[in-house]
Amino acid sequence: MKILLVDNEKEIRLILKDMVAAYENGQHSIEEADGVAGGIAKILSFKPDIVLLDVEMNDGTGFDLLKQLTNPSFQLIFTTAHNQYAIQAIRYSAIDYLLKPVDPVELRNSLEKAKANISNQNLQKQLAVLMQQFSAKAEPDKQLVLKDIDKTYFIKTNDILYCEAEGSYTKFYLSNSEPVFVSHNLRYYEDMLSPAGFFRTHHSCLVNPSKIKIYDRKTDSGTLILEGGHSVPVSQRKKDFVLQLLENR
């Protein structure tokens, strides 16, 4: 297995190299690059299976590097400091990322996932979703990548009816499609989707407001009826907020 480390800080590359070398007793080749230009050259010559890519470098960003590649076939793991905007975009694409300073256990887990997905050819489509986050494209037309145990789903934001918490998992209910069950909690997706207008009606439900058809007052706090006849409860605590939002939309 061939692994490429792209980071502008030599010290960080050395630390990463030591941690990667410890993975599977070093049964792989490791190369380094210090920026966008060097990273592109190494990708073309080394043809890595896995790339650990820094988000912010001296001659541009990891995103700038990716824009210059045609049909990348490697597995990608971003490394980044706490750049919330970049992290949010990466989450939308479901591409793996590690926060600096990189934890050895988290790195090992990421390498294991990347190794298991070597034959997966979804990166180009995931990168398209990632780049949408930096475009002026209308929010409902943007996509979100969801992964379950077997499949990767590319979902338009506006095709999401609502999300329902099931412990540490989330179930996505979609227009004209079967639900998708994914292994992140509802708060994870609330952080991602609230800028698109999604809001909680209840501790376990996150709703797409464009899909609300009826506010049913038969219960004390009410129920929302969505497209397709789906019913979503409104908690007493959220009732005033939901009513105000519906009146102002």
Tell me the mean pLDDT in the region 154-174. Answer: 96
pLDDT tens sequence across 190-214: 999 998 899 999 999 999 999 999 9
CB burial of residue 72 (10 Å; 0-12, 13-18, 19+): middle
Find tokens 């069950």 and name the residue: 181
Tell me the mean pLDDT in the region 165-173. Answer: 96
Given a cut of 90, whether residue 120 has pLDDT beyond it is: no
pLDDT of residue 66: 96
Tokens encoding 249: 């939309």
The span from the first CA to the last CA of the chain, in angstroms, equals 53
Given a cut of 60, whether residue 115 has pLDDT beyond it is: yes
pLDDT of residue 139: 62
Tokens encoding 47: 């043809």
Q: pTM for the complete prediction?
A: 0.85
pLDDT of residue 136: 61
Rounded to the nearest integer, the mean pLDDT of the chain is 92
Tell me the mean pLDDT in the region 120-126. Answer: 87
pLDDT tens sequence across 71-81: 899 999 999 99
Q: Tell me whether domains 2-132 and 139-248 share a fold.
A: no
Residue pair 88/192 in contact (Cβ under 8 Å)? The answer is yes
pLDDT of residue 25: 79
pLDDT of residue 186: 97
- CATH code of 2-132, in short, is 3.40.50.2300
Instruction: Reply yes or no on domain 139-248 having CATH 3.40.50.300.
Output: no
pLDDT of residue 162: 98
pLDDT tens sequence across 128-147: 999 888 876 656 578 999 99
pLDDT of residue 166: 94
pLDDT tens sequence across 72-114: 999 999 999 988 889 999 999 999 999 999 999 999 999 999 9
Q: Which of 36, 134, 64, 149 is nearest to 92 (CA)?
A: 134
- Domain ranges across the chain: 2-132, 139-248
pLDDT of residue 118: 87
